[in-house]
A and B are shown apart, each in its own frame.
Chain A
């Protein structure tokens, strides 16, 4: 068993849709909703998620991308680094990657 950080060849560009409208969301609306989320206490937010009520404070969902049929071979997995990510790696993570920067 392994906790991993496999190199990611391409950053994932994510867009969002409003749950109550079939269409792409405006970036400013998503940002505003994230700012609202940030005002909640972490445990309070977890309670909202656990109750299945996240859509009430964040009425968006990522535009669906097909789930991969496989995540690769177990033997090819690399363990996560035993340190904090660098700022560059963390930016990669926020963009959808595993936090590994390729040069």
Chain B
């Protein structure tokens, strides 16, 4: 993800998210800030981020950003029974159908699942074997939790389980271990 991608998103995609009637955690995000400042804050902690843009072609063949991703590499795995690193899915945002249609993209695909697949593939590429973790934002409501549970089929960290993070376990932490990541990645193979 370059600064141009972030600026394009903030100018053309984010306004629709801000006005959306859906429960969206990304309503107030500025990718210009997230992309620049948050990796620096992790650099202070001796961690790296991975920022990616997922593009889709519109009818004219232009590259349109359809999803934005900010991951943290080698974050503690949320399943503390395994003392292994994983990719933390820190911020992911999918363009709304309306925004993509306005940019002449014909068929908006299932971008939410693609965001999770991108994280799993990134984890594999970063030698963390597909392990990912994420916190399902409260701002996303029950719909977002259902999405991670039923559509993405991620494991939910039991609410009584210990976490490797300072915030309390509110029952909205999800993860994929190596075995689940392999299955989920295979499900997406026909689409690659």
Contacts and interface: CB of A to CB of B under 8 A. Distances in A.
Q: Do A and B make up one complex?
A: yes
Interface of A: 1-4, 6, 8, 12, 14, 34-35, 37-38, 41-47, 49-52, 54, 58, 61-62, 65-68, 70-77, 80-85, 90, 93-94, 96-98
Nearest to A52: B28
B4 A68 contact: yes
Contact of A97 (B2, B41, B56, B75): B2
B4 A50 contact: no
B129 to A, nearest CB: 14
B37 interface: yes
Contacts of A2: 54-55
B66 interface: yes
B185 interface: no
The interface centre, meaning the residue of A50, A52, A68 with most chain B CB atoms within 10 A of its CB, is A50
A4 B8 CA distance: 15
Interface string B1-32: 11111011011100000000000011111101
Nearest to B62: A70
B126 A84 contact: yes
B44 A38 contact: yes
Nearest to B170: A43
A28 B68 CA distance: 29
Q: Which 8 residue pairs spanning A and B have beta carbons closest together?
A: A52-B28, A74-B57, A67-B11, A38-B44, A67-B7, A37-B41, A41-B166, A96-B3
Contacts of A51: 28, 139
Given A74-B62, A83-B125, A3 B56 contact: no
B44 A34 contact: yes
Contacts of B27: 50, 52
12 contacts: A1-B114, A2-B54, A12-B2, A37-B37, A41-B167, A47-B138, A49-B29, A62-B33, A68-B7, A70-B63, A72-B62, A84-B48
